[in-house]
């Protein structure tokens, strides 16, 4: 069966930049409430929650972290915790032993190297156990107001579908989006792409017929094109 994905003419960098910014404006209209869906009240809580969000949902993490932070409210407390107690709390998030090692390790590193505080520099954040550029950019953008692109699975998938890049390397995708979008918009643009990926542009079958950016998307038509059926697919 022939693919319904339509080709577009090769773009200049200027044309792609204009299209990317047009798409981001349309997504801002569609998702005016786009935001980080992990609950947190401090940079430390967001850092830990983001590490825990790997291989599970934000909803599951938000159900787990209140118990964790009530028992271990800061880096010093979590670093000194009984690992078995932490494992039991984190069990519902999956991969709980590895996650326990990561959050306790990063807590110990925060105490030893940063006085228990979460640093506001990407170069420092990525030295912490279990913290990569994606997690660092989540923390910088949402806890410190420092713009950054979050290359989670939705951002990666949509960057390819929208024809921004063919790469599946998170660092390449981050740098491509850095070039296409204004720096001041990086954090919110990431949220909008994540919202769109979770609510409309699904991995298996996107709701193309109810997509606000279909006219600018080279992959439009790969999913459900009937507007009524597509609208019924939308989430959130």
- The catalytic residues are 134, 152
Structure tokens at 153: 């699975």
- Other beta carbons within 10 angstroms of residue 95's beta carbon come to 15
Phi, psi of 43 (to 5 degrees): -55, -35
- Count Cα atoms within 13 angstroms, Cβ side, for 38: 29
What is the dihedral sign for C-alpha 45, 48, 52, 57?
Answer: positive
Q: 133 to each of 12, 57, 112, how far by Cα in Å?
A: 28, 19, 21
d(CA 73, CA 48): 11
Question: Which of 107, 119, 99 lies closest to 72 in space, CA to CA?
Answer: 107
What does DSSP assign to residue 81?
S
Is-contact 106 82, C-beta < 8 A?
no
d(CA 82, CA 104): 10
């Amino acid at each position: 069966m022939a693919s319904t994905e339509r080709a577009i003419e090769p773009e200049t960098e200027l044309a792609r930049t204009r299209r990317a910014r047009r798409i981001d404006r349309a997504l801002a209209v569609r998702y005016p409430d786009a935001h980080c869906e992990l609950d947190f009240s401090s940079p430390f809580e967001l850092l830990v929650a983001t590490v825990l969000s790997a291989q599970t949902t934000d909803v599951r993490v938000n159900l787990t972290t209140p118990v964790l932070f009530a028992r271990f409210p800061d880096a010093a407390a979590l670093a000194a915790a009984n690992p078995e107690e932490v494992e039991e709390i984190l069990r519902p998030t999956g991969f709980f032993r590895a996650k326990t090692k990561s959050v306790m390790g990063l807590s110990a590193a925060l105490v030893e190297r940063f006085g228990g505080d979460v640093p506001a520099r990407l170069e420092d954040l990525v030295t912490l156990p279990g913290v990569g550029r994606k997690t660092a950019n989540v923390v910088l953008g949402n806890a410190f107001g420092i713009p950054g692109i979050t290359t989670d699975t939705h951002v990666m998938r949509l960057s390819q579908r929208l024809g921004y890049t063919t790469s599946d390397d998170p660092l390449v995708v981050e740098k491509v989006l850095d070039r296409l979008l204004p720096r001041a918009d990086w954090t919110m643009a990431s949220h909008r792409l994540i919202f769109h990926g979770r609510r409309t542009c699904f991995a298996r079958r996107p709701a193309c017929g109810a997509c606000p950016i279909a006219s600018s998307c080279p992959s439009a038509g790969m999913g459900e094109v009937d507007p009524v059926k597509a609208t019924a697919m939308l989430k959130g």
